[in-house]
Amino acid sequence: MKDKLMKEAWDLGLGQRTYFTGFLSDKTVRYLYRAADVFVAPSLYEPFGIVALEAMAAKTPVVVSGVGGLSEIVEHEKTGVVVYPNNPDSLAWGIIRMLNNKMYSEKIRDNAFQMILNKYQWDNIASKTMNFYQGILEEYGKGQWKSTLEFPNNL
């Protein structure tokens, strides 16, 4: 869709202010997150929202649509600003709110970074996953509903 989007940018008078990068390395993306004043994800559909987590980890304040995984990750007014999906006025409000109040955006940024450290570190995720599966095994061992079939050890 690059050509179509480039044409649309020029038609809107934004062509000289818009740069379509194409593929970027992970390192370059991290630098861009850090350089940004705000990260904006105006998604209509977003199953998980890893991009918002990446921005938060780079200490960039986020403005996201309240859809899917984004609305589960970003807590409005605490770890970011959540706006109405498919609503340009709401999106503009969120961006302006973040850009016009440095103390507010710094507080949001710091809260989000702390959330990343506390909730999304690989050690924590691995531990929670292991505990979840351990709980399932324990329940299975106690349950009367378990299969009477024995499985080979190599499965």
Give residue-wise pLDDT tens across range 54-91. 999 999 999 999 999 999 999 999 999 999 999 999 99
Spell out the domain ranges in the chain. Answer: 1-25, 36-142
Distance CA 86, CA 45 (A): 10
CATH T-level assignment (fold) for domain 36-142: Rossmann fold (3.40.50)
pLDDT at 9: 95
Q: Comparing C-alpha atoms, which of 89, 61, 88, 59 is closest to residue 74?
A: 61
CB distance 62 to 38 below 8 Å: yes
**Sheet bearing 39-41, strands edge to edge:** 39-41, 62-65, 81-83
The percent of residues above 90 in pLDDT, for the chain, comes to 75
Confidence of residue 120 (pLDDT cuts 50, 70, 90): confident
Distance CA 145, CA 73 (A): 36
Distance CA 148, CA 155 (A): 16
